[in-house]
Structure 1
Amino acid sequence: MSHTPIRSRRPRRALLGASGLVGGLALTLAVPAMAGAHVSVSPDQLAAGDHGVLTFSFAHGCGTSPTTALRVTMPDGLASVAPTLDGDWTIQVERGDDGLVSAVTYTALTPVPTDLRGAVSMSVGLDEDTPETLAFPVVQQCVDGATEWTQLAEKGEDPHDLDAPAPVVTVTDGGEGAHGTTPAHPATATAADDDALGIGLGAGGLLAGVAALVVAVLAFRRRA
């Protein structure tokens, strides 16, 4: 009778260790997906009255479903919009009553898998009186479902705290964003940063799970 409580605790300790390992593995898989799930724009600064080429890059967004299209809505304050012709996408341009481009839809000839990063681009021209920020709401269509990247941060709110932030370009008085200066391979650089963060956090979760399993096994052996 005196050994019954000890035997009953062994399966529980083993179960707790296994649960820790499963939790770590789940975090390893989930964190990189969350870290890479967004639509970004590069460059994120342009000068008033200038022009430049904006690149909208994306990854994930609809869970495990491949991306089929991006619809980018144009903000007020743009003097001109010219989508970049790309052999991987078909392009549909919508215009408002004033004749200016109001939205551009890029449809992938082949759906973009979730483990790849995609990008589309367009040339834009700014007026001298363009507002200080330009938000570009994006709807990411997928084989199954869609994600609307349309949220805007309120004053004092961190855009990174939003679940689905819209890409935003800051308009400067000149200098920093002059001539639409774009860093070399912006989409690649952003992808590398996201992947590094996701891998680091995921590895931490895996180590935590393994540590929990080791502790459980040692406790089990001491009780044996």
Structure 2
Amino acid sequence: MSSRTLTRLAVVPAATAAIALSIVAPASAHVSASVTEASAGAYTVLTLSVPHGCEGSPTTRIEVQVPESVFSVTPTRNPFYDLEATIEKLDEPVTDAHGNEITERTSTISYTASTPLPDGQRDTFELSFQVPDAEGEVLAFPTIQTCEKGETAWTQIPTAGQDEDELESPAPSFTILPASGEGHHGDEASASEESDDSAEPASDTSDASEAAEADEAGDSDSSALGWAGLGAGLLGLVAGGLALARTRSTT
């Protein structure tokens, strides 16, 4: 086999391996966001994922900035962090969908680590809230990651027409989808369940009534059978007496 042929055979696997590595190589790991429900008006749980430290330094604090269109946030407890919420007054009161007046909002949620998060490990932070009724809007949660040495501000928000991949430190975000139309609190399902529950006693009453009627019918049938048996017994006695009388008369 010629040296040229051997060279060609060696080049093919090397090129294939290079292509495979380029496909599976992970992109730059940012602080990312995922939600259980993105529909407008729905209640959701946002999960922020912190995959690494600051250039190798362990993470000591995570501060999440809440969008202005979100008024109330309920954070999930994390056993390795002390949690603190910052509340601010609104310039003007806002009326929610239930007619309640809102005068303040949660502006930031901060997690301070009791034990620093090592660079080679990841952690998640959850926030529960109602998705604003703003279909198509990108809801961003700028996050500042503080480490033992340095910090990374994941706060960049793409401008109109700009690709998020072009940003060095994009803010975690998601796009609000159209309302599902199934109700924000599951009221319809609850009402259906309550309706079913309320119908159960009526069903039980009906069953009890039918059982009572069956018992009465059974009692009636038993009584009729008893009287019939008594009548048959009396007829038997009479027949026996007549037979005895005839026997005596013939003798």
Same fold (TM > 0.5): yes
- Corresponding letter in the other structure for 1:146: E
C-alpha distance in 2, partners of 1:145/1:157? 28
C-alpha distance in 1, partners of 2:134/2:32? 24
Q: Could you tell me how far 1:161 is from its partner in structure 2?
A: 1.7
Q: Is the 8 A contact 2:47 2:124 kept in 1?
A: yes
Asked whether 1:50 is paired with 2:42, we answer yes
Determine the structure 1 residue equivalent to 2:83: 91
Asked whether 1:143 is paired with 2:135, we answer no
Determine the structure 2 residue equivalent to 1:220: none
Which of residues 94, 106, 115 is equivalent to 1:110? 115
Q: Is the 8 A contact 2:47 2:125 kept in 1?
A: yes
Give the ranges of 4+ consecutive aligned residues of structure 1 lying more than 4 Å apart after TM superposition: none
Structure 2 residues without counterparts, runs of 5 or longer: 1-24, 91-103, 185-251
Bigger radius of gyration: 2
Deviation per CA, 1:46-100: give whole Å up to 9, x if none.
1111111111001224101000111000112114200111212110100111321
Q: Compute the RMSD of aligned alpha carbons.
A: 2.9
Which of residues 158, 161, 176 is equivalent to 1:171? 176
Deviation per CA, 1:24-46: give whole Å up to 9, x if none.
xxxxxxx86xx453100012861
Determine the structure 2 residue equivalent to 1:39: 31
Q: Could you tell me how far 1:156 is from its partner in structure 2?
A: 2.0
Q: Relative contact order, CA 8 A, sep 6+: which one is greater?
A: 1
Determine the structure 1 residue equivalent to 2:94: none
C-alpha distance in 2, partners of 1:125/1:168? 15
- Corresponding letter in the other structure for 2:108: A
Q: Is the 8 A contact 1:141 1:147 kept in 2?
A: yes
Asked whether 1:125 is paired with 2:136, we answer no
Q: Is the 8 A contact 1:69 1:107 kept in 2?
A: yes
Which of residues 158, 163, 176 is equivalent to 1:158? 163
C-alpha distance in 1, partners of 2:137/2:37? 10
Structure 1 residues without counterparts, runs of 5 or longer: 1-30, 180-224
Determine the structure 1 residue equivalent to 2:58: 66
Q: Is the 8 A contact 1:137 1:150 kept in 2?
A: yes
